[in-house]
A and B are shown apart, each in its own frame.
Chain A
Amino acid sequence: MTNFPVEKIRADFPILAEKIRNKPLVYLDNAATCQKPQPVIDSIVHLYSHDYANVHRGVHTLSVRSTDKFEGARTKVKNFINAASEKEIIFVKGTTEAINLVAQTYGKANIKAGDEILITAMEHHSNIVPWQILCQQTGALLKVAPINLQGELIFDEFEKLISDKTRLVSVVHMSNALGTINPVKKIIAAARAKGVPVLLDGAQAIPHMPVDVQDLDCDFYAFSGHKLYAPSGIGVLYGKQALLEAMPPYQGGGDMIRKVTFEETEYNVLPYKFEAGTPNIADVVGLGAALDYLNEIGMENIAAYESELLAYATEKAMQIKGLRIIGEARQKGAILGFVLDKIHPHDIGTMLDSLGIAVRAGHHCAMPVMDFFKVPATARASFAMYNTKEECDLLMNGIESLIEVFG
């Protein structure tokens, strides 16, 4: 393969040296969450060992140091996704909270009975349920654009579903169950033509490709740190400043206010208006460290390496008799979903685990996708930048052996 420094990268991830059931770990469940490099782990240890206090509150030295690190990470996020300003970067728990935030603030303020919200048939539950809740609250309608048997959005149908009543389009950038990368620029252009704002669920896309929110021209972009080599419990909602300014706050409390009396409260400026209470300081700092680490490697390089890896794995998988790949979009990220003839994904998961290979078996929080492909569940190998061709071989050998055992 190209001279991607995969061995050097692997050495930075201590967990990759773990033995699982006496065998070297082959971690292929990166779409669920990925592992953390030493610099990320160190950044948290360092913060708690040297720089920790509450942020935005004190005049004392430690509070200043902590605030600098915290706000420094916000700048790193801004640069990483090329947002126009730090004001557009809101720290949340993860993608799920980011989408719920938009539903309960932007949604409640702008969406009324009879209005429509448009999603696709390949969404994660976290880009379905928050809208269903909003629809129950407001009387709005959820519209779902269909996909084809390759797992691609049927764009013409999607475009037809954008109506005069559509108030928001919310689509996944890259599907966690299928690996499909959606034509988000086309989607945004189509919505823009009708004056409809677009939210992108970037949970899966962000670790696999460069993301430039200004180039995309999306209105909201949501992602989680834990799928991006950063700690769990931290995520980001990007929103265009004008939209965020006009939105009501999400939760009330400390930090999100400027002035409080019992009669009235003046809200704080962006982004603090949406960050009530003491934030997840350490994990924000960890996220900043992850972005530094990724910048050093380069997202373009990661994307190129992973697409070679996926092509290799796909080719091998197609040679296995009785294996059916679920998700064959032309534009695809490093996710290989599959089912085996007469062998349930759960058995595949347990059997591969006994070989030290971690894959996910289940519905991947995308039950409607399973229904569409008429399977109860799939097995999914999802790759990260630290995976290798050798690991793909181990996976394929494992699959072949378990097919043999099941006879």
Chain B
Amino acid sequence: MFDDLRDLYQEVIFDHNRNPRNFRIMENADRQVEGFNPLCGDRLTLFLKMDGNVIADASFQGSGCAISTASVSLMTEIVKGKTEQEAEELFKIFHEMTTGKDEEINLEAVGKLAVLAGVREYPARVKCATLAWHTLDAALKNEQKPVSTE
């Protein structure tokens, strides 16, 4: 019935929505930043544990749509063990993938995140996918104030 939506709602997304990974409060996190999408009410808190400039652990809390939940869930998995620079580089690649118009997607660079490439066809949903990454960006820059997509 929802054939048109296969690119947007892939099985991996449903899976992460049903069972979000790293969905927990992190006691003694080094970084804690809130992300908010006022338009849809998506709200998340991202926690990071740093080891020097390496992200030793990442977790989150909050509620949002399937796209935003899957995006933050996948992100916490993928950034673990990455350096700040590597994570920032991923953010850039992810941003290009979700907002780019005709550039080819570098599948190797995005890895698992490719399941979210479908949002580029749904401008109303791009912010759902990018909220997690904007929040991560703020956490890496050690900004304290909440991130808003508006």
Pair from one complex = yes
Chain A residues in contact with chain B, CB under 8 A?
Answer: 21, 343-347, 350-351, 354-355, 361-363, 370, 375-377, 401-402, 405-407
| Residues in A whose Cβ lies below 8 Å from that of B42 | 344, 346, 376
Known: A361-B40, A363-B41, A406-B14. A347 touches B66 (CB 8 A): yes
* Smallest Cβ-Cβ distance to A405: which chain B residue: B2
Find out whether the CB atom of A350 lies under 8 angstroms from the CB atom of B18. Answer: no
- Secondary structure at chain B's binding surface: helix, strand, loop or mixed? mixed
Find out whether the CB atom of A354 lies under 8 angstroms from the CB atom of B43. Answer: no
Among A347, A350, A355, A361, point to the contact of B1 (Cβ < 8 A): A355
| A to B CB contacts below 8 Å, 6 in the list | A343-B66, A345-B40, A345-B65, A347-B67, A376-B64, A407-B14
Least CB distance from A402 to B in Å reads 7
| Residues in B whose Cβ lies below 8 Å from that of A354 | 2, 4-5
Find out whether the CB atom of A401 lies under 8 angstroms from the CB atom of B2. Answer: yes
**Bound CA span A405–B4, Å:** 13
Query: Number of B residues contacting the other chain (C-beta, 8 Å)?
Result: 25
**Bound CA span A277–B125, Å:** 40
Find out whether the CB atom of B5 lies under 8 angstroms from the CB atom of A407. Answer: no
| Residues in B whose Cβ lies below 8 Å from that of A376 | 40-43, 63-64
Among A21, A350, A406, point to the contact of B125 (Cβ < 8 A): A350
Find out whether the CB atom of A346 lies under 8 angstroms from the CB atom of B2. Answer: no
| Residues in A whose Cβ lies below 8 Å from that of B67 | 346-347
B128 at the interface (CB under 8 A from A): yes
| Residues in A whose Cβ lies below 8 Å from that of B122 | 350
Residue of A346, A375, A406, A407 with highest tally of chain B CB at under 10 A = A346
Least CB distance from B102 to A in Å reads 22
Find out whether the CB atom of B64 lies under 8 angstroms from the CB atom of A344. Answer: yes
| Residues in B whose Cβ lies below 8 Å from that of A402 | 2
Q: How many A-B residue pairs lie within 8 Å, measured between CB atoms?
A: 63
Residue of A350, A354, A401 with highest tally of chain B CB at under 10 A = A350
Find out whether the CB atom of B5 lies under 8 angstroms from the CB atom of A362. Answer: no
Within 8 A of A (CB), among B73-132: 122, 124-125, 128
Find out whether the CB atom of A362 lies under 8 angstroms from the CB atom of B4. Answer: no
Chain B residues in contact with chain A, CB under 8 A?
Answer: 1-2, 4-5, 8-9, 14, 17-18, 38-43, 63-67, 69, 122, 124-125, 128
Find out whether the CB atom of B1 lies under 8 angstroms from the CB atom of A346. Answer: no
**Bound CA span A355–B1, Å:** 8
| Residues in B whose Cβ lies below 8 Å from that of A401 | 1-2
| Residues in A whose Cβ lies below 8 Å from that of B9 | 347, 351, 405
* Smallest Cβ-Cβ distance to A21: which chain B residue: B4
Known: A344-B64, A406-B66. A377 touches B41 (CB 8 A): yes
Among A347, A405, A407, point to the contact of B65 (Cβ < 8 A): A347
| Residues in B whose Cβ lies below 8 Å from that of A377 | 40-41
**Bound CA span A350–B118, Å:** 13
| Residues in A whose Cβ lies below 8 Å from that of B39 | 362-363
| Residues in B whose Cβ lies below 8 Å from that of A406 | 14, 17, 66
**Bound CA span A354–B124, Å:** 13
* Smallest Cβ-Cβ distance to B13: which chain A residue: A347
| Residues in A whose Cβ lies below 8 Å from that of B128 | 346
Least CB distance from B55 to A in Å reads 27
**Bound CA span A125–B84, Å:** 41
**Bound CA span A401–B4, Å:** 14
Find out whether the CB atom of B40 lies under 8 angstroms from the CB atom of A344. Answer: yes
Find out whether the CB atom of A346 lies under 8 angstroms from the CB atom of B65. Answer: yes
Give me 6 other A-B pairs in contact (C-beta within 8 A), A344-B65, A363-B41, A402-B2 excluded.
Answer: A345-B65, A351-B9, A376-B40, A377-B41, A405-B2, A407-B18
* Smallest Cβ-Cβ distance to A377: which chain B residue: B41
**Bound CA span A21–B14, Å:** 23
* Smallest Cβ-Cβ distance to A371: which chain B residue: B41
Residue of B1, B9, B122 with highest tally of chain A CB at under 10 A = B1
Find out whether the CB atom of B41 lies under 8 angstroms from the CB atom of A351. Answer: no
Least CB distance from B38 to A in Å reads 8
| Residues in B whose Cβ lies below 8 Å from that of A362 | 39-41
Residue of B2, B38, B63, B125 with highest tally of chain A CB at under 10 A = B2
Least CB distance from A332 to B in Å reads 23
Residue of B1, B5, B41 with highest tally of chain A CB at under 10 A = B41
The 7 closest A-B pairs by CB, nearest first: A376-B41, A344-B65, A346-B65, A377-B41, A354-B4, A401-B1, A346-B40
* Smallest Cβ-Cβ distance to B42: which chain A residue: A376
**Bound CA span A190–B42, Å:** 40
Least CB distance from A54 to B in Å reads 39
| Residues in A whose Cβ lies below 8 Å from that of B63 | 344, 376
Find out whether the CB atom of B2 lies under 8 angstroms from the CB atom of A370. Answer: no
* Smallest Cβ-Cβ distance to B15: which chain A residue: A407
| Residues in A whose Cβ lies below 8 Å from that of B43 | 376
**Bound CA span A407–B17, Å:** 11
**Bound CA span A347–B2, Å:** 12
**Bound CA span A87–B125, Å:** 47
